[in-house]
Chains A and B, each alone.
Chain A
Amino acid sequence: MGFEVLLKGKNMIRLLMGLGVALKLSILSVVISILAGLVTGMLASFKKSVFYIVFRVHLEIVRIMPQLVLLFIVYFGFSKAAGWNLTAEAAAILVFSFWGTAEMADLVRSALVSIPASQYESSRSLGFNSLQTYLYVILPQVGRRLVPLSINLITRMIKTTSLVMMIGIVEVLKTGQQIIEANRYQSPNAAFGVFAVIFLLYFAACYPVSRLSKYLEKKWEN
């Protein structure tokens, strides 16, 4: 079945290190996206503001352009056109954060506008100022609505990091390909075994995140 190649030499360790690269890129991009997305989303919730327009354009670009094209533009395009010699990892983090920030901001914005106006009014009539209203009334409710949606975004980001092999980063999928190539004659079936293990590795990385979301949803049912 092709699993045996993974037992040869350091192949399994190499695969795990590849997964480490993929996770490092995703975690960094996710953290940047969440922080930047929270701020952008709050600013974008003020309709008719300049922030809203900038955010709409940003979101449209991200939605229309395949992530791979964005990666190529930043990694190959910018180095020639703008003279930015980014490392492949920096380019990847930049692109994924650019994407994640837009999507996260949209989630934050829609969660914010879904809070009924009466929540603001009753807070105001209880004497809360704007900051207190946000802190004690609005944001806790936004947070609860945001968790399942943002977890979905996080798992999508983890999966999409497999694209970075196209700009030469040796992550888990690329390592897998290298192992298959190197054993083409001895183990012609390696493709199945290696990709099956990669599937399990991605599952192991994403499943706990998705469980966490289920747990929080249950806890905050009220």
Chain B
Amino acid sequence: MEDILKIEHLYKHFGDISVLEDIHFSVKKGETVVLIGPSGCGKSTLLRCINGLEDIQDGRITLEGCAINPVDKKDLKIRQQIGMVFQNYDLFPHKTVLENVMLAPVKVQKRNRSEVEQEAGELLERVGLTSKKDCYPRQLSGGQKQRAAIVRTLILQPKVLLFDEVTAALDPEMVREVLDVMLDLSAQKRTMLIVTHEMAFARAVADRVLFLDEGSIVEDSTPGEFFANPVTERARRFLKTFEFEKQR
């Protein structure tokens, strides 16, 4: 498979603090890549750089050969080819679920309204939100909001999907419904980059795992390999924090 997304020698710093150092990897079409690592290691910042929400200091990010960061100001439409789902859903509170989903395709992509509405209906049905399509975000549970936010991103038919700790703000029993949607997307061979702290999920969904620490990629391997035999001491210690032993 060809590489669709390329991150080349990316450097990012906030003031004097270096957040990402020489990040260099590429993602193949249809691949699901999971980024894991301790808090503050730069995973979320990396996703935000790929989505163009953060400036980068050096290096470049390209999608099918087109520069997306640094981006040509006249070519902001390239952003729609990269969809991002955020931790706090960030639905538009003054619009219903259906309106949230339809706003960008109708207003930005200028697609035909009835065609968009039909597609929105199909996608909402796929994530089990048909009965909620006329509700406002505040009437929904966290899991429903996050599924709606995923649909809002999907309808733009992005070539790459970014998920930034999308279950971190959810109650445990709602995590599953969101992860199931993502497993479904992965099975459809969508190209996805996922930041998560759900290790069991990471193992199930990933084609490839990147372990980040202090702004660098420390390990790049398959989930089977990474979770069974992490190469670095740092990764071993990190994985250990998810294990519990009874104190005697």
Contacts and interface: CB of A to CB of B under 8 A. Distances in A.
Interface residues of B, number: 29
Nearest to B155: A126
Given A125-B53, A125-B79, A126-B152, A136 B107 contact: yes
A141 B53 contact: no
A125 B107 contact: no
Interface in A109-164: 116, 118-119, 121-122, 124-129, 132, 136-137, 140-141, 144
Given A125-B83, A127-B156, A128-B108, A119 B92 contact: yes
28 contacts: A118-B86, A118-B88, A121-B53, A121-B86, A122-B91, A124-B79, A125-B51, A125-B53, A125-B82, A125-B153, A126-B79, A126-B80, A126-B103, A126-B104, A126-B108, A126-B152, A127-B79, A127-B104, A127-B108, A127-B109, A128-B104, A128-B108, A136-B103, A136-B107, A137-B92, A220-B94, A222-B136, A222-B139
A222 B84 contact: no
Interface of A: 116, 118-119, 121-122, 124-129, 132, 136-137, 140-141, 144, 220, 222
- Most B CB atoms within 10 A — which of A116, A127, A136, A144? A127
- Most A CB atoms within 10 A — which of B79, B82, B90, B139? B90
B93 interface: yes
Contacts of B168: none
Q: Which 8 A-B pairs have the closest CB atoms?
A: A127-B80, A222-B136, A122-B90, A126-B104, A125-B84, A118-B90, A127-B108, A127-B79
Name A's interface SS: helix
Contacts of A121: 53, 86, 90
Contacts of A140: 94
Contact of A126 (B88, B93, B94, B156): B156
Contacts of B231: none
A132 B77 CA distance: 13
A222 B135 CA distance: 9
A127 B71 CA distance: 13
B138 interface: yes
Contacts of A116: 90
Given A121-B90, A127-B76, 17 more contacts: A119-B92, A122-B86, A122-B90, A122-B91, A124-B79, A125-B79, A125-B83, A127-B79, A127-B80, A127-B109, A127-B156, A132-B108, A136-B103, A137-B103, A141-B93, A222-B93, A222-B136
A222 B138 contact: yes
Interface string B87-127: 01011111000000001100111000000000000000000
Contacts of B84: 122, 125
